[in-house]
Amino acid sequence: DTAVSQTPKYLVTQMGNDKSIKCEQNLGHDTMYWYKQDSKKFLKIMFSYNNKELIINETVPNRFSPKSPDKAHLNLHINSLELGDSAVYFCASSQDRRNPYNEQFFGPGTRLTVL
């Protein structure tokens, strides 16, 4: 059983389009995250979110927005896609963001290619 799942696995789209990536976790965790992994494998946190608070990395363009319909889902919406948005996006979850010793469980990733 997949703990953290993402769809789609691959996403190819034209510049300027709007797209969404879905994430679901069945671990009962309180906090979910989105990370961006660029071509050099560098992992960078974009957002952390629980049902009360959204923490945004200040370097993330406002074209990116997380949407959480419920505790088990955190979707990533991207408007006006740019070439530089091409990367692998990982969703992750942990029991409690306020406990830094909690393990983060990552999804399999979504490879986004902007043409």
Partner 1 sequence: QQQVKQSPQSLIVQKGGISIINCAYENTAFDYFPWYQQFPGKGPALLIAIRPDVSEKKEGRFTISFNKSAKQFSLHIMDSQPGDSATYFCAASVNYGQNFVFGPGTRLSVLP
User: What length does the chain have?
Assistant: 115
Q: What are phi and psi of 84, to 5 degrees?
A: -70, -10
- Least Cβ distance, residue 91 to partner 1 (angstroms): 8
Residues that bind partner 1 (CB under 8 A): 4, 40-45, 48, 55, 90, 92, 94, 97-109
Q: Name residue 62's beta-bridge partners.
A: none
- Least Cβ distance, residue 65 to partner 1 (angstroms): 19
- Least Cβ distance, residue 69 to partner 1 (angstroms): 22
CB closer to partner 1, 13 vs 102: 102
Q: Are 92 and 102 in contact (CB under 8 A)?
A: no
CB closer to partner 1, 44 vs 67: 44
Q: Are 92 and 4 in contact (CB under 8 A)?
A: yes
CB closer to partner 1, 18 vs 38: 38
Integer Cα distance of 96 and 98 in angstroms: 5
CB closer to partner 1, 64 vs 90: 90
Q: What CA–CA distances, in Å, run from 23 to 20, 40, 77?
A: 10, 24, 11
- Least Cβ distance, residue 17 to partner 1 (angstroms): 25
